[in-house]
């Protein structure tokens, strides 16, 4: 296994654990997102200063427009995802969001002329159906009605995040730490007005537990994990990125079941097997 795939697996595993930490943070998820964005950016800045890594203003300047656009896209992605949760719930919103790997494969084929491997496509489709089962939206509950607007929001979140991954391919001559630091800052800056408008920020309290958990989410799950993730996706084919992306929800489901005592149905178990199996098969050498 090459280093890029290992970075991808590690970052996806870290992303999959964030729900456990956020579950114990007593504030709106959109506020958590803004805090993690700013904390992640500050962490990467301090990390580079303390370890002697260069904050390359010349490299940032060369890629500034693309970094600003992708950073803003991340912020828009957060906003659309949170809004989709309000209309169609977390399970359905997450399911729509995880169409992103499919969009990524199609986009890379058109923009970067990546040859689509039949095996990879099959694995992406199987993993997607696995996500349907794991999410709990199938079989549908009686009387369940989905909002078309909520679905559109979830798909919009997926589209913007796929755009971030694809556009990051065009970022040249800059390391993942400098790149991610700028992107997280602009992502949080874009999401901040949304939080100020939609949340009662004045009544949000910061106790010791909240501060510690926010630091963990901001440093580990955002600064460190995003830098590793964006560094990996620049080296991997989109089809590998697409399949390995499903490690995130898989880890989240397993941890929710074991640590939060959330029930996993037989359909959910089938979905988990499909996600893990397709991930394994897609990465096995001939």
CA-based nearest residue to 196, from 186, 188, 185, 206: 188
Task: State mean pLDDT over 19-39.
Answer: 88
Q: Cα(169)–Cα(160) distance, rounded to whole angstroms? A: 15
Asked if residue 68 lies in contact with residue 171, where contact means CB atoms within 8 angstroms, the answer is: no
Q: Indicate the pLDDT class of residue 62, thresholds 50, 70 and 90.
A: very high
* pLDDT given for residue 286 in this prediction: 46
Between 10 and 243, name the one with better pLDDT: 10
Q: Which of 9-13, 40-44, 140-144, 231-235 has the lowest mean pLDDT?
A: 140-144
Judged against a pLDDT cut of 90, whether residue 201 lies above it is answered with no
Q: Which two tokens stand for residue 3?
A: 């280093």
Half-sphere exposure of 16 (CA within 13 A, CB side): 20
CA distance 286 to 27: 48
* pLDDT value of residue 112: 83
3-state secondary structure of 27: coil
In this predicted structure, what is the pLDDT of residue 146?
Answer: 59
Structural contact between residues 5 and 283, judged by C-beta atoms closer than 8 angstroms: yes
Residue 9's pLDDT band (cuts 50, 70, 90): very high
From 68, 90, 118, 42, select the one nearest 252 (Cα to Cα). 90
Q: Residue 27 and residue 8: Cα distance in Å, rounded?
A: 29
Query: Mean per-residue pLDDT for 51-57?
Result: 90
CA distance readout (Å), 261 to 84, 92, 115: 25, 20, 43
pLDDT grade for 151, boundaries at 50, 70 and 90 = confident
Asked if 95 and 275 touch (Cβ cutoff 8 Å), the reply is no
Asked whether residue 232 carries a pLDDT value surpassing 70, the answer given is yes
* pLDDT score of 283 more than 70: no
Q: Count CA atoms within 13 Å of residue 191 on its CB side.
A: 29
Do the beta carbons of residue 237 and residue 114 sit within 8 Å?
yes
Percentage with pLDDT > 90 across the chain: 38
Is pLDDT of 1 > 70? no
pLDDT > 70? residue 144: no
**Mean pLDDT, to the nearest integer, of 68-92?**
86
- Say if CB 146 and CB 86 are below 8 A apart: no
């Amino acid at each position: 296994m090459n280093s890029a795939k290992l970075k991808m697996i590690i970052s996806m595993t870290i992303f999959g654990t964030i729900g456990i930490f956020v579950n114990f943070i007593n504030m709106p998820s959109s506020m958590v997102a803004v805090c993690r964005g700013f904390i992640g950016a500050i962490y990467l800045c301090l990390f580079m200063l303390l370890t002697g890594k260069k904050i390359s203003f010349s490299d940032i300047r060369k890629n500034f427009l693309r970094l600003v656009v992708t950073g803003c896209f991340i912020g828009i992605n957060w906003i659309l995802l949170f809004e989709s949760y309000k209309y169609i719930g977390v399970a359905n919103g997450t399911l729509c969001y995880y169409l992103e790997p499919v969009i990524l494969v199609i986009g890379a084929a058109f923009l970067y002329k990546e040859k689509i491997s039949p095996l990879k496509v099959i694995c992406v489709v199987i993993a997607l159906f696995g996500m349907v089962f794991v999410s709990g939206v199938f079989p549908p509950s009686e009387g369940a009605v989905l909002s078309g607007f909520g679905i559109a929001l979830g798909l919009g979140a997926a589209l913007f995040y796929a755009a971030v991954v694809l556009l990051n391919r065009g970022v040249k001559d800059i390391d993942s730490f400098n790149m991610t630091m700028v992107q997280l800052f602009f992502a949080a800056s874009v999401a901040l007005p949304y939080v100020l408008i939609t949340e009662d920020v004045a009544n949000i309290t910061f106790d010791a537990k909240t501060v510690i958990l926010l630091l963990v989410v901001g440093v580990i799950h955002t600064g460190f994990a995003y830098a590793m993730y964006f560094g990996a996706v620049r080296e991997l084919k989109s089809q590998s990125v697409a399949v390995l992306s499903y490690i995130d929800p898989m880890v989240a489901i397993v941890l929710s079941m074991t640590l939060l005592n959330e029930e996993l149905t037989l359909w959910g178990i089938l979905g988990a097997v499909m996600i893990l199996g397709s991930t394994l098969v897609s990465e096995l050498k001939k």
